């Protein structure tokens, strides 16, 4: 790490002198902790730290624990469990013993409330798997201009995993879901330190809960979920942002009225009509705002960092990942001149429409000089990343094309 940082500082300074396109931004940034676009205090107060069972991750806050995955871990199809990001809203996070865990399923929208043990959940319902990206709604919030309060995430509040579990709809079917059921409310074992702190509880529309790829997951990448990622069971709402992926699930209720709770409103809202999203959560909409739903199309360069230096007369491989809310990635284009010309990247294997898609581009780099590398993903319904930030007060859905300035020669 220290070598990386020295190299980085050196090349950053060299790059600045040669910068033709625009001044480099990387001088005060860090190739691991995050770009200089983060608030200064966020960069300064972050450090690489290891939670129990985790490799060192970017510590944003200790308690509640918010730890970001360094970008280098995204240079592979699946994000290792011990490097998977950690995000909590409340600080009382019990460690759950498998024999003690119970899932309560009820609510006025269900005919017969019931309970499940972990053994029952695993043995009495069909096991299914889905490859899906879990991305925090506020991933990249720290890059928002102007800056907005909240966890100042860089690029790493996300991870791609193979989730195994049972369909939520199969579990609900056992209790007999009524036709007047409107939303499915999900609560986890975590709680606030103070009794008055709003518990982190989320709802999803019944139509979403009935989809095949909404799971109560007990495995991640072939292993039990890490404690910090929701052991023993978490909700997987493939395609939607991670705010709905309740960890340590303990209660599921089918309700016949819109669920009211701080974390549904005013939290996790986007201005109505601001983003080109397709899924709408109508029972929670107001005149001006709507709950965040599926992820917007986005991409990330995973093998280069700001100010990196390469020898001339070679090709530079640019690698990355691209994703959206489940329509699937159609193309990824790469520019080396700050957006004047674009070339198609080669897409890696399709791991399913909820997984991210790896891509790579062999960039001709014969000419010495500064290269402004950017990537742009377009999905199968024609949505594209944006050049300019679509500003919103909570810093959600940041899919501005990332830009990395490198130096050749």
Rg over CA atoms, the chain: 22
- Of 59 and 208, nearer to other proteins (C-beta) is 59
Q: Tell me how far, at minimum, the Cβ of 262 lies from other proteins, in Å.
A: 6
Q: Does 64 bind other proteins (CB under 8 A)?
A: yes
Q: Which of 209, 279, 212 is nearest to 246 (CA)?
A: 209
Q: Does 42 bind other proteins (CB under 8 A)?
A: yes
Q: Does 308 bind other proteins (CB under 8 A)?
A: no
Q: Does 62 bind other proteins (CB under 8 A)?
A: yes
Q: Does 60 bind other proteins (CB under 8 A)?
A: yes
How far are the Cα atoms of 13, 87, 135, 279 from residue 90, in angstroms, in the given order? 41, 9, 18, 28
Length of the chain counted residue by residue? 409
Q: Which of 167, 158, 299, 159 is nearest to 221 (CA)?
A: 159
Q: Supply 233's token pair.
A: 């069971």
Q: How far apart are CA 132 and CA 134, in angstroms?
A: 6
Find all residues with CB under 8 Å of 65, minimum gap 6, and list them.
51, 86, 88, 93, 228
Q: Which of 20, 193, 282, 344 binds other proteins (CB under 8 A)?
A: 193
Binding segment for other proteins (CB under 8 A), chosen from 166-174, 191-199, 309-317, 377-385, is: 191-199
Find all residues with CB under 8 Å of 123, minimum gap 6, and list them.
none
- Of 85 and 125, nearer to other proteins (C-beta) is 85
Q: Does 91 bind other proteins (CB under 8 A)?
A: yes
Q: Give how many residues touch other proteins by CB under 8 A.
A: 31
Residue 57: its H or E element = strand 57-61
Q: Does 199 bind other proteins (CB under 8 A)?
A: no
> What are the strands of the beta sheet with 346-347, ordered from one edge?
298-301, 314-323, 357-365, 346-347
Coil, strand, or helix at residue 235? strand
Coil, strand, or helix at residue 183? strand
Q: Does 49 bind other proteins (CB under 8 A)?
A: yes
Q: Does 197 bind other proteins (CB under 8 A)?
A: yes
Q: Tell me how far, at minimum, the Cβ of 205 lies from other proteins, in Å.
A: 25
Q: How far apart are CA 396 and CA 11, in angstroms?
A: 32
Q: Does 46 bind other proteins (CB under 8 A)?
A: yes
Q: How far apart are CA 286 and CA 88, in angstroms?
A: 27
Q: How far apart are CA 323 and CA 294, in angstroms?
A: 11
Q: Does 45 bind other proteins (CB under 8 A)?
A: yes
Q: Supply 387's token pair.
A: 């050049």
Binding segment for other proteins (CB under 8 A), chosen from 168-176, 193-201, 229-237, 296-304, is: 193-201
Phi, psi for 47 (deg, rounded to 5): -160, 165
- Of 98 and 192, nearer to other proteins (C-beta) is 192
Phi, psi for 63 (deg, rounded to 5): -150, 115
Q: Does 100 bind other proteins (CB under 8 A)?
A: no
- Of 42 and 209, nearer to other proteins (C-beta) is 42
Q: How far apart are CA 362 and CA 278, in angstroms?
A: 34
- Of 149 and 364, nearer to other proteins (C-beta) is 149
- Of 44 and 111, nearer to other proteins (C-beta) is 44
Q: Does 198 bind other proteins (CB under 8 A)?
A: yes
- Of 146 and 349, nearer to other proteins (C-beta) is 146
Q: Which of 20, 22, 111, 149 binds other proteins (CB under 8 A)?
A: 149
Q: Which of 138, 137, 155 is nearest to 36 (CA)?
A: 155
Q: Which of 15, 26, 65, 159 binds other proteins (CB under 8 A)?
A: 65
Distance of CA 199 to the CA centre of its chain: 22
Q: Does 317 bind other proteins (CB under 8 A)?
A: no
- Of 62 and 387, nearer to other proteins (C-beta) is 62
Q: Does 44 bind other proteins (CB under 8 A)?
A: yes
Q: Which of 1, 5, 22, 41 binds other proteins (CB under 8 A)?
A: 41
- Of 150 and 339, nearer to other proteins (C-beta) is 150
Q: Does 285 bind other proteins (CB under 8 A)?
A: no
- Of 170 and 199, nearer to other proteins (C-beta) is 199
Q: Which of 92, 170, 199, 279 binds other proteins (CB under 8 A)?
A: 92
**Which stretches of the chain bind other proteins, using CB under 8 A?**
39-42, 44-46, 49, 59-65, 91-92, 146-147, 149-152, 192-198, 262
């Amino acid at each position: 790490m220290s070598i990386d940082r020295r190299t980085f500082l050196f090349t950053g300074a060299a790059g600045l002198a040669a910068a033709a396109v625009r001044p480099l931004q990387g001088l005060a940034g860090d190739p691991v902790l995050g770009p200089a676009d983060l608030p200064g205090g966020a960069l300064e107060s972050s450090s690489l730290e290891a939670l129990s069972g985790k490799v060192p991750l970017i510590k944003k806050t200790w308690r509640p624990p918010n730890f970001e995955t360094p970008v280098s871990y995204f240079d592979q199809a699946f994000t290792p469990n011990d490097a998977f990001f950690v995000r909590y809203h409340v600080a009382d996070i019990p460690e759950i013993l498998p024999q003690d865990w119970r899932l309560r399923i009820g609510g006025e929208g269900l005919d017969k409330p019931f309970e499940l043990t972990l053994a029952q959940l695993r043995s009495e319902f069909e096991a299914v798997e889905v490859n899906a990206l879990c991305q925090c709604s506020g991933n990249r919030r720290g890059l928002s201009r102007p800056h907005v309060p909240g966890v100042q995430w860089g690029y790493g509040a996300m991870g791609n995993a193979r989730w195994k579990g049972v369909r939520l709809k199969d579990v609900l079917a056992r209790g007999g879901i009524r036709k007047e059921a409107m939303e499915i409310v999900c609560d986890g074992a975590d709680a606030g330190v103070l009794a008055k702190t709003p518990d982190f509880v989320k709802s999803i529309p019944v139509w979403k809960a009935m989809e095949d790829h909404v799971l109560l997951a007990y495995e991640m990448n072939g292993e039990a979920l890490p404690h910090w990622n929701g052991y023993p069971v978490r909700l997987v709402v493939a395609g939607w942002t991670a705010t709905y992926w309740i960890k340590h699930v303990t209660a599921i209720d089918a309700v016949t009225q819109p669920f009211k709770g701080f974390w549904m409103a005013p939290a996790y809202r986007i201005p109505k009509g601001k983003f080109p999203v397709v899924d709408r959560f109508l029972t929670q909409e107001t005149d001006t705002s709507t709950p965040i739903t599926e992820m917007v199309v986005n991409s990330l360069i995973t093998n280069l960092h700001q100010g990196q230096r390469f020898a001339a007369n070679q090709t530079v491989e640019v690698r990355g990942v691209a994703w959206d809310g489940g329509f699937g990635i159609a193309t990824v284009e790469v520019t080396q001149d700050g957006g004047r010309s674009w070339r198609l990247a080669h897409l890696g294997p399709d791991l399913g429409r909820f997984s991210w898609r790896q891509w790579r581009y062999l960039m001709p780099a014969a000419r010495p000089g500064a290269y402004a590398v950017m990537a742009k993903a377009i999905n199968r319904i024609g949505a594209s990343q944006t050049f300019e930030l679509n500003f919103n007060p909570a810093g959600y859905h940041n899919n501005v094309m990332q830009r990395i300035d490198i130096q050749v020669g």
